[in-house]
Amino acid sequence: MKYLEDVLIAPVISEKSYDRISDSNSYSFFVHTKTDKPQIKKAVEEMFGVKVLRVNTMYRKGKKKRFGYIIGQQSTRKIAIVTLAEGDTIEAFGV
């Protein structure tokens, strides 16, 4: 990726992601599909000023949706779960 702002698309806001924050200090983000773990780590560290211990990635396959008689599909998204060092937090999540 050319710019670090292009790596992270949006935070994942769900009950499971908030449980992950309180249990293991891990934050979830939707990321660009072409990024790799070192790029994600660098982007989070520079954008939020925190120390990243571990990055796990996964793909969430798009669901098939029906629009009348046409069957379409949502896009597949890549999710990164970023574990931070003890004491570091990201204020964007509001936790």
- The residues spanned by each domain of the chain are 4-86
Q: What does the pLDDT read at residue 95?
A: 58
pLDDT, averaged in runs of 10, over the chain (95 residues): 86 91 93 95 94 96 93 94 93 69
Give this prediction's pTM.
0.86
- Lookup result for tokens 């990055």: 55
Residues paired with residue 82 on neighbouring β-strands, in sequence order: 27, 55
CATH 3.30.70.330 assigned to 4-86: yes
Cα distance between residue 32 and residue 95, in whole Å: 24
**pLDDT computed for residue 92 by the predictor:** 73
pLDDT for the residue 91? 82
